[in-house]
Amino acid sequence: MTAVLERPNKVGAPFAGVSGKQYLNPAAFAIPTAGTYGNLQSYGVKGPLYDNWDASLQKTFSVYENIGIDFRAEMFNVPNHLSSFTVANTMGASNFGQVTVATDPRTMEFALRVHF
Protein backbone atom coordinates (compact mmCIF):
# COMPACT_ATOMS: atom_id res chain seq x y z
CA MET A 1 0.00 0.00 0.00
CA THR A 2 1.47 3.38 -0.94
CA ALA A 3 1.04 6.64 0.95
CA VAL A 4 -1.66 8.89 -0.50
CA LEU A 5 -2.12 12.58 0.35
CA GLU A 6 -5.73 13.00 -0.83
CA ARG A 7 -9.07 12.87 0.96
CA PRO A 8 -9.91 9.28 2.03
CA ASN A 9 -13.18 7.35 2.05
CA LYS A 10 -14.78 7.11 5.47
CA VAL A 11 -15.89 3.49 5.88
CA GLY A 12 -16.33 3.20 9.66
CA ALA A 13 -16.26 4.97 13.03
CA PRO A 14 -13.08 7.10 13.24
CA PHE A 15 -12.74 6.87 17.03
CA ALA A 16 -13.89 3.27 17.64
CA GLY A 17 -11.56 1.13 19.72
CA VAL A 18 -8.71 3.64 20.02
CA SER A 19 -6.58 4.21 23.12
CA GLY A 20 -3.17 5.47 24.10
CA LYS A 21 -1.36 7.28 21.32
CA GLN A 22 -3.65 5.83 18.64
CA TYR A 23 -6.10 8.73 18.14
CA LEU A 24 -7.86 7.55 14.95
CA ASN A 25 -9.00 4.08 13.90
CA PRO A 26 -7.05 3.28 10.69
CA ALA A 27 -9.68 0.71 9.66
CA ALA A 28 -12.27 3.50 9.44
CA PHE A 29 -10.61 5.00 6.37
CA ALA A 30 -9.84 3.63 2.91
CA ILE A 31 -7.82 4.94 0.00
CA PRO A 32 -10.23 5.94 -2.82
CA THR A 33 -10.07 4.42 -6.27
CA ALA A 34 -7.48 6.07 -8.51
CA GLY A 35 -8.89 9.18 -10.20
CA THR A 36 -11.75 9.64 -7.70
CA TYR A 37 -12.23 11.78 -4.62
CA GLY A 38 -12.85 10.30 -1.19
CA ASN A 39 -16.20 10.81 0.58
CA LEU A 40 -14.77 12.32 3.79
CA GLN A 41 -15.94 15.90 3.92
CA SER A 42 -13.67 18.80 4.73
CA TYR A 43 -13.14 18.99 8.52
CA GLY A 44 -15.14 15.76 8.83
CA VAL A 45 -12.90 14.52 11.64
CA LYS A 46 -11.75 16.93 14.34
CA GLY A 47 -8.30 16.69 15.84
CA PRO A 48 -7.56 16.46 19.55
CA LEU A 49 -8.41 19.42 21.78
CA TYR A 50 -5.65 21.69 23.03
CA ASP A 51 -5.85 22.58 26.72
CA ASN A 52 -3.21 24.94 28.08
CA TRP A 53 -3.26 27.05 31.24
CA ASP A 54 -0.37 29.29 32.24
CA ALA A 55 -0.10 31.31 35.46
CA SER A 56 2.31 33.73 37.08
CA LEU A 57 2.66 35.45 40.43
CA GLN A 58 4.78 38.48 41.27
CA LYS A 59 5.53 40.17 44.60
CA THR A 60 7.73 43.18 45.32
CA PHE A 61 9.38 43.46 48.75
CA SER A 62 10.90 46.66 50.08
CA VAL A 63 14.20 45.92 51.85
CA TYR A 64 15.56 49.40 52.54
CA GLU A 65 14.74 52.93 51.34
CA ASN A 66 15.90 52.54 47.72
CA ILE A 67 16.46 48.80 47.65
CA GLY A 68 13.77 46.33 46.68
CA ILE A 69 13.41 42.71 45.66
CA ASP A 70 11.04 41.38 43.03
CA PHE A 71 10.07 37.71 43.20
CA ARG A 72 8.33 36.10 40.23
CA ALA A 73 7.00 32.55 39.81
CA GLU A 74 5.67 31.27 36.48
CA MET A 75 3.97 27.95 35.70
CA PHE A 76 3.30 26.65 32.23
CA ASN A 77 0.69 23.89 31.69
CA VAL A 78 -0.50 24.32 35.30
CA PRO A 79 -2.91 21.33 35.49
CA ASN A 80 -0.35 19.16 33.63
CA HIS A 81 -2.88 18.16 30.95
CA LEU A 82 -1.60 16.15 28.03
CA SER A 83 -2.60 17.96 24.86
CA SER A 84 -1.85 16.39 21.50
CA PHE A 85 -0.51 18.68 18.82
CA THR A 86 -0.12 16.54 15.72
CA VAL A 87 -1.75 13.36 14.48
CA ALA A 88 -0.11 11.49 11.58
CA ASN A 89 -2.52 11.83 8.65
CA THR A 90 -0.85 10.11 5.69
CA MET A 91 -3.05 7.24 4.52
CA GLY A 92 -1.14 4.00 4.20
CA ALA A 93 1.61 5.06 6.61
CA SER A 94 2.33 2.70 9.51
CA ASN A 95 1.68 5.47 12.04
CA PHE A 96 -1.60 6.76 10.51
CA GLY A 97 -3.89 8.13 13.23
CA GLN A 98 -1.23 8.14 15.95
CA VAL A 99 -0.31 11.19 18.02
CA THR A 100 3.20 12.22 17.00
CA VAL A 101 3.71 15.46 18.99
CA ALA A 102 2.31 16.44 22.39
CA THR A 103 2.70 19.37 24.79
CA ASP A 104 5.47 19.65 27.33
CA PRO A 105 4.75 18.62 30.93
CA ARG A 106 4.26 21.19 33.68
CA THR A 107 7.17 23.64 33.81
CA MET A 108 7.97 26.14 36.57
CA GLU A 109 10.32 29.12 36.57
CA PHE A 110 11.37 31.32 39.46
CA ALA A 111 13.12 34.69 39.27
CA LEU A 112 14.53 36.98 41.92
CA ARG A 113 15.54 40.53 41.01
CA VAL A 114 17.22 43.12 43.26
CA HIS A 115 16.76 46.75 42.25
CA PHE A 116 18.43 49.82 43.77
pTM for the full predicted model: 0.61
Confidence at residue 4, expressed as pLDDT on a 0 to 100 scale: 52
For residue 83, the one-letter residue type is S
- Provide the pLDDT for residue 3: 55
pLDDT given at position 76: 93
pLDDT for 2: 56
Q: Which residues of the chain have pLDDT under 70?
A: 1-5
| Separation CA 108–CA 82 (nearest Å) | 16
The pLDDT, as a whole number, for residue 56 is 97
Ordered by start, the domain boundaries in the chain are 9-33+50-115
* Residue-level length of the chain: 116
- Per-residue pLDDT at 1: 53
